[in-house]
Amino acid sequence: MGRLTGKVAIVTGGGGDGIGQGISRVLAREGAHVSIMEIDIAAAEAVRERIVAAGGEASVVRGDVSRSEEVRAAIEQVVREHGRIDVMVNSAGVGLARPVAEASEEEFDRLASIDLRGLWLCCKYAIPHMQRQRRGAIINIASVHARATMPLYGIYAAMKAGVVGLTRGIAVQYGPDGIRANAVCPGLVDGKQTRALASHFSTDVEIWLEDFVRRHQALPVLIQPEDIGTLVAFLASEEARAITGAEIPADAGSWAQLISRD
């Protein structure tokens, strides 16, 4: 029996090879039925197939988090098919590396519509179902940039700081209804997006990643999507029944380190 046996979880952005798929796979391994909410159906189906092949339960539901009606319809579909929502994981997101004064309004609005407004919409439509159940766990994926950022990432940092603030507000507002809400703040996590970023700085991606880990982290490990999934599974479980409104780093010690190593 896994710690989430019998639970129904929605994971936004659960396709591809990034954090969302790592979370989806770990939640399924812990016994949850995972509804992967994605706009990339092919990527979501590939993750679902991996989960089923490993003996887990998963389904795919289409939903663009930036569109209110699609979010509402996707969440209602999950409730209609599975009867409840126990866990809402908001992992869908996009990045932006641009100086604050040089970003366009369109870039700002796109980032806000997915990383903050989209996350709020998913919470907005999931919370009433959790209120009826008198229990539920919301885990919002923020970033280490919510607390400490670097050049080019000011707007992205603002969105992730907003995610943390929204998470605290949900925890305070809906705690009496039995709903917990926590924010997970990953550091640099391995995946296609990370490797694409690394390729802009070096022709040798592996060397760049090794150097990043050495310079910016206390632990000499390259964080994997499943590492984030393990933390999310704990926060979704009854083992975390006393934890809400928290901002938890999963960054191999990046926040703990004052300056980069030479």
User: To 5 degrees, how large is the angle CA 181–CA 146–CA 111?
Assistant: 90
Q: Which residues are catalytic?
A: 156
- Tell me the three state secondary structure of residue 115: helix
User: To 5 degrees, how large is the angle CA 87–CA 93–CA 98?
Assistant: 155
C-beta separation of 24 from 36 below 8 A:
yes
Letter string b/e over residues 47-77, b meaning 16 or more CB atoms within 10 A of that residue's CB: bbeebeeeebebbbbebbbbeeebbbebbeb
- At what angle are helices 68-82 and 117-133 packed, to 10 degrees? 30
C-beta separation of 236 from 139 below 8 A:
yes
In whole angstroms, give the CA distance from residue 256 to residue 26: 26
Q: Pull the structure tokens for residue 134.
A: 């008198």
In whole angstroms, give the CA distance from residue 113 to residue 185: 19
Q: Pull the structure tokens for residue 80.
A: 């209609």
In whole angstroms, give the CA distance from residue 127 to residue 136: 8
Amino acid at 44: A
